[in-house]
Amino acid sequence: MSRSPALITHDDALRVLRAQLVGLPDGSPIRLAKPTSNLFRFRDPAPVNALDVSAFTRVLHVDPTTRTADVGGMTTYENLVDATLPHGLMPTVVPQLRTITIGGAVAGLGIESSSFRAGMPHEAVLELEILTPDGDIVLATPDNEHRDLFFGFPNSYGTLGYALRLRIELAPTRPFVALRHIGYGSAAECASAIDEVCADPEIDFVDGTVFAGNEMYLTLGRFTDSAPRVSDYTGGRIYYHSVRDRAEDYLTTRDYLWRWDTDWFWCSKALGAQHPLVRRLWPRRYLRSDVYRRIVALDRRYELSARVDRVLGRPVREPVIQDIEVPLGRLAEFLEFFDDEIGIRPVWLCPVRLRESHGWPLYPMPPGELFVNVGFWATVPLGHGEGPGHHNRLIERKVTELGGHKSLYSDSYFTEDEFWLRYDGGTYRKLKEIYDPRGRLPDLYAKCVGNQ
């Protein structure tokens, strides 16, 4: 079978990258030279000998007949969406931020408003081409000799290898998304509504915004071929304000997929980007999550905000940047705890149900059960006697108590025993022995808790 020019170029890039990896001095760290990141475990910049993966940032092929795509692992969802929408297709789940890469979403999980039906991005993967730490190129599928790696790769965060090419399923789209924002006065009422709307076959997208314990909204989206008007939240107007202000709305499909990116949900407010004067002066092309994230990274590295707080006598603030999932039936209990102990508002809600019956060992959610992701991204002042990580530890304990899970893209404080109990240490260790026997990459605990 002949290979397309794009795949031939990809094969050439594989050989070059493999040679880079094999040529690294013994004991030197293996890191990727990537211009962007959506992790909130900040590390030192990549070393000068970091692996150049710039050749793996392209969509190799879109097949409208089979509704599949071959994609380089470092391809951003922004570029992937731009390649698939002209065919009337999109990834089954498109994470909220433009510069999340498909390899990152599969190795580190992802979620969005189609997840109540489509699950997570890794559930649309048909095959994975993985560079292992020893320089082998492994093709993993659900039914070949590397099937254990295929199922164990999600939530491995680049500690078993790097996805360089993925073949994924695509879903059909229509030109517009019609939105309804429905308000609820309590978490119990909202949870009951989530159960109902997620069973409605006419609904294509479901997520929610919690502004207060007695003010929360579900946003229900459905594809449509026409729209009486179309809103634009890529400039002066701010999407999350519309959730309160409009019962109905219409967006192009592309703008719907990136509705949260312009203001990084609502986090741009902390950077001044929502102030009317600043908003007028801030170039539209820089109203993007990756720009804000770079600003936060600089602030963390040089402790700019912390220094200002010390000068002004303000309390030390703890970053509480997390996404967690709890069973739908425990959502009200979690939100009550969150109001009492943490107090961040707004927060994001997103129902998710794994669609595959076999499950995924390193993130062991029971297949078929409806969970709700709760996302919160802010800082919280530490009280007298409260040390670093105080609020995050409270959240970790509560989520565990409620039978939930926590994503690992940000700070974690589990003990090693706690961590491996939650993320299937037995399965992980077997995979590590097979695919990284020399331990050239840190293990999952060392990377996600030790920040190696």
Residues linked to residue 63 through DSSP beta bridges, in sequence order: 68
Q: What pLDDT sits at residue 2?
A: 55
* High-pLDDT (> 70) share of the chain, %: 98
Instruction: Report d(CA 435, CA 441) in Å as an integer.
Output: 10
Instruction: Report d(CA 147, CA 169) in Å as an integer.
Output: 18
Q: How confident is the model at residue 40 (pLDDT cuts 50, 70, 90)?
A: confident
Q: Is the confidence at residue 282, as pLDDT, over 60?
A: yes
Mean pLDDT of 35-46: 74
Mean pLDDT of 203-228: 98
Tell the burial category of 405 from Cβ atoms under 10 Å away from its Cβ (0-12, 13-18, 19+).
buried
Per-residue pLDDT tens for 328-361? 999 999 999 999 999 999 999 999 999 988 889 9
Choices 3.40.640.10, 3.90.950.10, 3.30.465.10, 3.90.700.10: CATH for 5-173+431-448: 3.30.465.10
Domain layout of the chain by residue ranges: 5-173+431-448, 303-413
Domain covering 303-413 in this structure, CATH number: 3.30.70.2520
Q: Is the confidence at residue 1, as pLDDT, over 70?
A: no
Q: What pLDDT sits at residue 452?
A: 73
Q: How many residues does the chain have?
A: 452
- The torsion of the CA quartet 253, 72, 452, 297, rounded to 10 degrees, works out to -40
Examine domains 5-173+431-448 and 303-413 and report if their fold is the same.
no
Let me know: does 395 contact 320? Beta carbons within 8 Å.
yes
Residues 6+ apart with CB under 8 A from 277: none
* High-pLDDT (> 90) share of the chain, %: 86
